[in-house]
Chain A
Amino acid sequence: MNSKEQVKIIKERSGTDASKCMKCGKCSGRCPAYNEMDIKPHQFVSMIEKGEIEKLLNCKAIYNCLSCFACVERCPRNVAPAAIIEAVRQEVIRMQGGNYINSEEIPQIVDEQIPQQLLVSMYRKFNK
């Protein structure tokens, strides 16, 4: 698959129209993980539009986005940056060896109080 096709698939998977973005930056302004995003939410939108896929596939931001949907709520153009980030994250974790969590490390991070919901959501977000 060439990168053009890959971009097309990611766009479709996101279900949102990045071309509607007017580059106001409100999504990034509202993002609670902003400081930890090496690629900011508004950059995801413009970079997928421009087809700059390699950088997106290799960024840290896909693991720091909290799926809080604050960016989606604030966008005046009805673009969903969180959905583009999710579509890129899926692209990465579905690849062979793309799992982000090493299951062997789990016992060390699990404490008595940890809710099942956290463990399941972490796996759903980071591993396939």
Chain B
Amino acid sequence: MKFNYYPGCTLKTKAKELDAFGRKSLEALGVDFEEIKEWQCCGAVYPVAKDEVATKLSAVRTLAMAKENGGKVLTLCSACHNVLKRVNNDMKTDENMRLKANNYLALEEPYLGESEVIHYLELLRDYVGFDKIKAAVVNPLKGVKIGAYYGCLLLRPNSTMAFDNPENPTIIEDFIKAIGATPVVYAFRNECCGAYVSTTNNELAKKKSSAVIASAKDEGAEMLVTACPLCMYNLRQNGGGEIEVKYFTELLATALGVNN
């Protein structure tokens, strides 16, 4: 099975490690993937307003391109995942959006939400399997206490994202176990980091990010892992700096011995 990999803009610029370690790990695990040719920016945030069509079109283009190639879209950035999955859901269920997007794009065959958007962590859980990852680990991260930081975008709204239990998720903790480390469960793991207000109301972002860090520290975490460049930025810049924050793909690549 081939996965159509969608890196998105930030993974080509400020979050190159998230991408590079992700690719190396997929190769090590024998996953067949290929970057979608000529993908466009997903739009960064899902346009919630029902009367927005134009801001969703670049996501529809990507989804339609992947349809030509088996239809499995593999995402890594949490924000891209949220946008692509929600726009795809609109193309499946919202008549008005379907009609307008197809009228505008005039594709050879109308796109009706046939592709499937799969996050890298879902691929690890559902297609590779955490048992297989465990067996492939050459450098287990023994004794390292890691807190999973889910944030918002992977989990909510659960009616569309269907990623994991939105109030009590386990997927990243299972991942942490698979690479030989010890997961630390803490209350603020699915709280918001402060998101895009970090530029317009930095005080609010500082409060939110430092509350996440404090909650993780209280439970004894030595490190946090995330899949989101925006969360990473907020936790590092606005979180007070008491705990190291890393992309989960870096730890995966380390455990698999391909982090060079």
Count of B interface residues, CB-CB < 8 Å: 44
Give the total of A residues in contact with B, Cβ under 8 Å.
Answer: 39
Are A114 and B48 within 8 A (Cβ)?
no
Interface residues of chain A: helix, strand, loop or mixed (majority): helix
Write the A37-77 contact mask toward B (1 if CB under 8 angstroms, else 0).
00000000000000000000000000110111110110000
Chain B window 185-196, contacts with chain A (Cβ cutoff 8 Å), 1 for yes, 0 for no: 000000110111
The A/B interface has a contact count, at CB < 8 Å, of 126
B192 close to A118 (CB less than 8 A): no
B interface secondary structure, majority: loop
Contact with B along A84-120 (1 / 0, CB 8 A): 0011001000000000110000000101011111111
**B69 beta carbon closer than 8 Å to chain A:** no
Assess whether A121 is in contact with B44, with CB atoms less than 8 Å apart. yes
Closest to A15 in B: B50
Q: Are B201 and A124 closer than 8 Å at their CB atoms? A: no
A73 with B45, Cβ < 8 A, contacts A116-B13, A116-B14 known? no
Q: How far is the CA of A74 from the CA of B224 in the complex (A)?
A: 26
**A73 CA / B155 CA spacing, docked (Å):** 10
Cβ of B156: which chain A residues have Cβ within 8 Å of it?
A: 68-70, 72-73
A86-B77 in contact given A36-B204, A121-B195 (Cβ < 8 Å): no
Q: Give A117's nearest chain B residue, CB to CB.
A: B10
Complexed CA–CA distance, A14 and B50 (Å): 6
**Do residues A63 and B50 form an inter-chain contact, with CB atoms below 8 A?**
no
Tell which of A83, A86, A114, A122 touches B233, judged by Cβ atoms closer than 8 Å. A114
Task: Find chain B residues with CB under 8 A from A125 CB.
Answer: 45, 196
* B14 & A113 in contact (Cβ 8 Å cutoff): yes
Q: 10 tightest A-B contacts by CB?
A: A120-B44, A69-B156, A68-B192, A115-B229, A86-B48, A121-B44, A68-B152, A15-B50, A121-B45, A121-B196
**Which residues does A use to contact B, with CB under 8 Å?**
12-15, 32-33, 36, 63-64, 66-70, 72-73, 80, 82-83, 86-87, 90, 100-101, 109, 111, 113-122, 124-126
Q: Which chain B residues have a beta carbon within 8 Å of chain A's beta carbons?
A: 8-10, 13-15, 41, 43-45, 47-52, 55, 77, 79, 152, 155-158, 166-167, 191-192, 194-201, 204, 208, 229-230, 232-233, 236-237
